[in-house]
Amino acid sequence: MKCESCNKKLATVHLTEIVENEKKERHFCEDCAQNVTNHFPKAPSPSDILTSLINQVSPEIREMSKTTCPVCGLSYLEFRSQGRLGCPMDYNVFKKGLLPLIERMHGSSQHVGKVPPNAGAEIIKKNEMIQLRKELNEAVEKEDYERAAELRDKIYELSGNVEDGD
């Protein structure tokens, strides 16, 4: 059966209209059906499907997809397909996208371990504070108030010299 509108293509859309109790069957090809009625939504293209999938799974990819590191030239999409970063600066440039990933991998996004011996005094102190606060929380959870008081004093002592971390 050919499309009743263009009379060229095969009719693949079959509509049944009821106007004033009178039933009428109409047959269109896909293109003409779009024009005749707005009941028939256009089939999404493969790229539309992909985009909506990406948005569902990792909304950060769309947001970050245009970001490229000015230092090493790596784009966020390249990172997501290879899984490897290009330079230390990427951790800053891609921070928004990386944070949820890092949270998922490690269950945390704040370093509390070792600091390089030649890192600035500021960083060393900041890190010590983070470690102490973490220990304080744990002590409170365990209801070890003696240890908690000790830790609190240490934190007071240090905090005179350092700004709060982010």
Q: How many residues bind other proteins (CB under 8 A)?
A: 37
7 touching other proteins, by CB under 8 A:
no
- 41, 46, 70, 113: which one contacts other proteins (CB under 8 A)? 113
Candidates 35-43, 57-65, 122-130, 139-147; binding stretch for other proteins (CB under 8 A): 122-130
Closest approach of Cβ 102 to other proteins, in Å?
6
158 touching other proteins, by CB under 8 A:
no
User: In a 3-state reduction of DSSP, which class is residue 125?
Assistant: helix
d(CA 94, CA 68): 8
d(CA 116, CA 100): 26
> If we measure between CA atoms, which residue out of 68, 60, 112, 61 comes closest to residue 90?
68
Compare residues 55 and 92 and give the one whose CB is closer to other proteins: 92
**Is there a contact between 94 and 72 (Cβ–Cβ < 8 Å)?**
no
112 touching other proteins, by CB under 8 A:
yes
137 touching other proteins, by CB under 8 A:
no
98 touching other proteins, by CB under 8 A:
yes
Compare residues 7 and 108 and give the one whose CB is closer to other proteins: 108
Instruction: Restricting to residues 58-87, name those near other proteins by CB under 8 A.
Output: 71-74, 82-87
d(CA 131, CA 116): 15
Contacts with other proteins, residue ranges (CB under 8 A): 71-74, 82-88, 91-92, 98, 101-102, 105-119, 123, 126-127, 131, 165-166
